[in-house]
Each structure stands twice: as C-alpha cells, then as structure tokens.
Structure 1
Amino acid sequence: MSAPVSAVLLASGLSRRYGSNKLLEPVDGLPLYRRAFAALPAPLFHRAAVVSCYDEILRAAEGAGYLPVFNPAPEEGQSLSLRLGLAAVAEGSAAVLFSVCDQPRLTQESVKALLTAHQRRPGRITALSHRGCRGNPVIFPAPYFPELMALTGDTGGAPILRSHPEALQLVEAASPAELEDMDVPPHR
C-alpha cells in the first residue's frame, strides 16, 4: 500500500515582477491557476489545499476539490504560504507535494511520474527536474515537516534541500518547458 501524499498549491504571490496578478492571466485560454489545478488534480492526493490571498482563486479551489486556505499576509513571503498549507494537510499525510501555480506547461504526466518515484523511495525528498537542474514541484516526507514549519521570510524549501542534499532524488520532466515559470507578461 502506498503512503498518503497530500498537495499544497502556492497561489499567494504578489506578482511584483509581473505587474498584475499573473495567476488570473489566461494561457492558451485558461487562467494560470486553473492550469495548475489541471496538472495537479485534487483526486491524485490524500488531501489537497490551495493557499491564496485571492478570493477568486479560493472560490475556484473549493469547486476543484481543494481545501481553500486564506493567506492573510502574502507580503510575509512564500514561507507563510508553505506553513499555512502544511498545517492544513499534514494530518494523516506521509509526505506533502508543494507546487507553485505559475508553471503553465507543467503536465499531469510529470506530476504522476514524480508521485511514482516518491512511492518507490518514500523517505527521499523528490523533485521534478530537467537535466539535473531541480525545479518544482517538490515532495517532502513527514520527517521534514518540522523544518518546513520553521521557515520564515520569502523562501520556499530550498534551505532544507541545501541542508539535506543526500536526501534529494530528481525526476526528469518530459520537457524543460514544464519547469519554466511565468514571471513577466508574454508581450514584454
């Protein structure tokens, strides 16, 4: 039997470099956050949450089967979203997958490959990559939850990965485009 993996989608970014809420921007006719929902459908996971400060995203998350988690202080940085999301899904979870919502080319196939690799070696931190370069999403097993809950500021799980390089296993994405995030509008 496989260990239960939950998911946290991080959707609280202030899009400072983008200039507007990029998560609402359509990519191939679908808002960026909805593309994330499609790549990481809630039924793939034991529990799934979306952390956001945006009402539209929180309402849509609930309709897509995610637990909506309000982030009251997105200016505090990514670590707050990580902590809020982890607190919402940790119970009963052997691991949690964290994903940003601004990778428009991420595919469900790569997410499933990531989950499969994690199930084979559940004690390892498992990350999507391309040619050895780590990207997102990343799955952290439960022993790392206390370190995730201790994060502060505008940082994700990178400090934990730097502290435990021996624990990391990489899973090759089908395409390097899957790891690219959308930080500036396409017309710039």
Structure 2
Amino acid sequence: MKLGAILMASGAGRRFGGNKLLREVEGIPLYRRAMNALAGAGLDRVAVCSPYTEILSAGENCGFLPLFNAGAAEGISASIRLGMTAMEGMDGVLFAVCDQPFLTTNSIIHLLNSFQQSKTAICALSWQGQKGNPVVFPADLFGELSALAGDTGGGAVIRRHPDRLVLVEAFSPKELSDVDKPEDLHA
C-alpha cells in the first residue's frame, strides 16, 4: 500500500497576528516540527504546500516535494487541491497541518497502521473521542477532495461519509493541541 502526505503550510495566521508557521517552539519553527514528525513516518511521498519560499526550501531539503501555493488566499481547499496533484498512484493520503507542535512520529505511524488495516476508512487522530488532525483519506475519495472550493477542508468530505470515519487515539492529548493565538505557544 502506497501512502502519501500533504503538509499544509499556507495559512496567513490572521488569528495569530502574522505568519505563525515561522514561530519557534523549543527553538524549532512550527513548520519544521511538522516536517520532522512526518519525515520519520515511512511515507512513500511527502509534499508541502506553501506560498512561503523559506518553508518550500526547507521542505525540499527534508525530502518533501515543494508545491508553491499561489492560491493560498482562497483558503484551505487551495492547499488540498494543489497537494492532490502530487499524489497520483497513492492508496491513501494523510493531511497534516503545521500548528500542532507536539505531534509525534509515533502517533502518525499509529494512524497510518490503522489506515492500512482498514484500507477504506477515513482515519483521524483523536483524543478521547474528539477528532483532530492529521487525517488519512483513501483513494476513492481523492476526487471529492480535489473538488473542494473556498475555505473548506476535508471535514466536508468526512461529513458526507460519517460511517467511514475511524478515530485513532494519539499517545498524548498534547499532540492534538494547536496554536491559533500567540498565547497558545505558552499554554
């Protein structure tokens, strides 16, 4: 089974007050922490979607396919559509965000293993029944993902197929914590 991943690194950080992806947690920028977590997960193909050249260059140096997101202002669907153009031939694609600084490679591997056992489920990392990110989608839903528009993400596809959602418990609740505002960095 071939598995790919798309790291979505296009957000403008409006709620944060600027580009949060460059902010450091424990001395490492948020985008780099996400790349590091994905890099060791044994994925067959990894891509990063971003309008920021610093992030694309770092991704390329880490083995990610850099995809320049000229449509980032449209919203999350632009990253999804762009990323999907690089996922041909994959049996499943994991979507990850950069603002979960404590996401671990072990939880990503656990999520991927759960997906490989089910093959047709939508597998989402969770904590005590609460869905979070990343999420892995099977190939038969790639068309729906590629058809998303505006500031609409994979949640719209999940809502159309709730019976296919499988929650996969993370190893710690901290892994699902995301950074939306500067004070979240100190929580």
Task: Report the TM-score range of the alignment, normalised by the length of the smaller protein.
Answer: over 0.9
CA contact (8 A) 2:41 2:109 kept: no
* C-alpha distance in 2 between matches for 1:45 and 1:181: 23
Asked if 1:78 is matched to 2:76, the reply is yes
| Offset of residue 43 of structure 1 | 6.4
Q: Distance in 1 between matches of 2:155 and 2:29?
A: 27
1:124 aligns with 2:121: yes
- Tell me, yes or no, if structure 1 residue 152 matches structure 2 residue 169: no
Structure 1: gaps of 5 or more residues: none
Aligned residue among 106, 111, 118 for 1:109:
106
Q: Secondary structure in 1 aligned to 2:86?
A: helix
Q: So what's the TM-score if we normalise by structure 1? A: 0.95
**Amino acid corresponding to residue 161 of structure 1 in structure 2:** I
2:140 aligns with one of 143, 150, 155: 143
Specify which of 30, 43, 63 is matched with residue 45 of structure 1. 43
CA RMSD of aligned residues (A): 1.3
Post-superposition CA distance 1:100-134 (Å, at most 9, x none): 11100101110010011111111111100001110
| Aligned 8 A contact 2:37 2:104 in 1 | yes
Matches within 5 A, 1:19-30: 19-30=17-28
Q: Contact 2:41/2:105 (CA < 8 Å) preserved in 1?
A: no
Which residue identity is paired with 1:152?
A
Contact 1:127 1:135 in 2 (8 A): yes
1:42/1:48 contact within 8 Å kept: no
Count matched residues.
Answer: 185
- Alpha-carbon offset, residue 174 of structure 1: 1.0
Percent of aligned pairs with the same amino acid: 54
Partner residue in 1 for 2:4: 6
SS, match of residue 81 in structure 1: helix
1:67 alignment partner, one of 50, 65, 71:
65
Distance 1:87 1:119 in 2: 22
Q: Which moved more, 1:33-42 or 1:58-67?
A: 33-42
Structure 2 SS opposite 1:104: coil
Gaps of 5+ in 2: none
Instruction: Return the alpha-carbon distance in structure 2 between the equivalents of residues 159 and 73 of structure 1.
Output: 20
Spell out structure 1 runs of 4+ moving beyond 6 A: none
For residues 10-46 of structure 1, give each alpha carbon's deviation from its aligned partner in whole angstroms, at most 9, with x where no partner exists: 0000100001110000100000000001111166211
Distance of 2:117 and 2:167 partners within structure 1: 13
Secondary structure in structure 2 of the residue aligned to 1:166: helix
Task: Please name the residue that 2:55 is paired with.
Answer: 57
1:103 is paired with a residue whose SS is: coil
